[in-house]
Amino acid sequence: MGFFSRIIDIFKSNVNDLVDRAEDPEKMVKQIIVDMQEELAKSTQALGKAVASERIAEKQYKESMRKSADWEAKAKAALASGNVELAKKALANKVKADEEINAYKEMYETISNQTDAIRVQVETLKSKLSEAKSRQAMLIARAQMAETKKNLAQSVGSIDTTSSYDKFSRMEEKIIQKEAEADAVAELAGIAVSKDYESFEQMQTDAKVDDELQRLMAEMGQLKPAEGELSLEEQIAAAEAAAEFAVAEDADGGL
């Protein structure tokens, strides 16, 4: 079974060798699994036939031993009865049976050894098939990664990385410049708005302060009248004078 050695050699080889020898490593790995399964089926069938042959040879071997023992028993019985001629005939048949014993024994041992060898090969193939199935996904993944790595290396090798990187750097510089300009415009706009807002707030604050000052000065009698207006004391004196004049007029009218 040369297939066994071929399978063992394949799975002892490095995955890189597998990639080199196959157009499509994934298909090759799967095909190896299929081949091993088919070979296992054939080997199992061959083992079944070998076991059957072994059993037949064993049966014939035991049957020849039974015949030899039977003819020997008959020869003894003939001698016991004094019939020498009959004993000789029985012993002649025993000699033939003994010859068959030797032939069937040799055949049985040969078939038995072959059957054992086939059984070992079948068990080995089962083990290798199990190992192959467990390694199948890993081998395919490694083959795919090797192919990807190769393609990437070829792609990178065909690109002018220096020129591309220079373009990238120039683009980055332009973006940085635009960001700086945007920040400057935003900062200036923020300052203008802030100044207007502060001026408006200051006006409101000043008005409130003036109102509070007027209130306090009025309460404390320190509020100065506007031009052409009487002060508070002058307004009170004028009111008192007007009241006295009114009382005097009433008195004169009574007389």
- What is the DSSP annotation of 226-253? PTT---HHHHHHHHHHHHHHHHHHHHHH
Are residues 129 and 36 in contact, defined by beta-carbon separation less than 8 angstroms? yes
Please check the confidence at residue 241 and state whether its pLDDT lies above 80.
no
How sure is the predictor about 26, in pLDDT bands with cuts at 50, 70 and 90? Answer: confident
Domain regions of the chain by residue span: 2-159, 166-223, 230-255
- The alpha helices in the chain, defined as continuous H runs, are 2-12, 15-20, 25-80, 84-157, 161-219, 232-254
Task: Quick: pLDDT tens for 92-110.
Answer: 999 999 999 999 999 999 9
Can you give the pLDDT at residue 230?
57
Quick: pLDDT tens for 64-93.
Answer: 999 999 999 999 998 898 888 988 998 899
Instruction: State how far Cα 79 lies from the chain centre.
Output: 89
Give pTM, 2 decimals. 0.44
Contact 93/71 with Cβ under 8 angstroms?
yes
Stretch 132-160: mean pLDDT, rounded? 73
pLDDT at 14 over 50: no
Query: What DSSP designation does 21 have?
Result: T
Range name among 30-39, 117-126, 221-230 with the lowest pLDDT average:
221-230
Looking at residue 130, its pLDDT comes to 85
Smallest CA-to-CA distance from 23 within 158, 118, 147, 128 is with: 147
- Rounded Cα distance between 22 and 3, Å, is 19
User: Which range scores top for mean pLDDT: 134-148, 158-172, 178-192, 200-214?
Assistant: 134-148
- Give the pLDDT of residue 63: 92
- How many percent of the chain have pLDDT more than 70? 65
| pLDDT of amino acid 61 | 92
To the nearest whole number, what is the mean pLDDT of the chain? 75
Asked if pLDDT for residue 159 goes beyond 60, the answer is: no
**Is the pLDDT score of 193 beyond 60?**
no
Which range has the worst mean pLDDT, 1-5, 67-71, 211-215?
1-5
| Cα distance between residue 19 and residue 135, in whole Å | 15
Structure confidence at residue 65 (pLDDT):
93
Q: How confident is the model at residue 113 (pLDDT cuts 50, 70, 90)?
A: very high
